[in-house]
Amino acid sequence: MIGNSVDRTADTAFRKLNVILMKHGLLKKVDYCLGISPDEPSSTDPKKFRYGAGYVLKEVVNLLPEGEMQVIVYPAGRYAVFTHKGPSSTLWQT
């Protein structure tokens, strides 16, 4: 069920974010997307698995957080970074 919890959680996060971007006419300004998960899927209860969906826009916009949207600043440091290529159903493999 690891794949299902990652895929489902990521899909839900991006759907919620897309609603906000559509509301403000920003979907056409998306340059690329990114996702951040502070949890290890194989050792986290699927009901508690967290996934942060985000977009990098082609230009700076002034948009205040709304709904479940948050501004999160990650401190400088070393992070594992992966590029996922393929359908979101295989996201958990990346």
Q: Are 80 and 88 in contact (CB under 8 A)?
A: no
* Residue given tokens 């690891």 in the structure block: 2
The four Cα atoms 75, 73, 10, 56 give a dihedral, to 10 degrees, of -110
Q: What is the pLDDT of residues 8-32, one digit of tens each?
A: 888 899 999 999 999 999 999 999 8
Amino acid (one-letter) located at 78: R
Q: Which residue has the higher pLDDT, 43 or 25?
A: 25
Separation of alpha carbons 42 and 19, rounded Å: 30
Given a cut of 80, whether residue 88 has pLDDT beyond it is no
- Rounded to two decimals, the pTM is 0.80
Domain regions of the chain by residue span: 2-93
Phi (first) and psi of residue 41, to 5 degrees: -55, -35
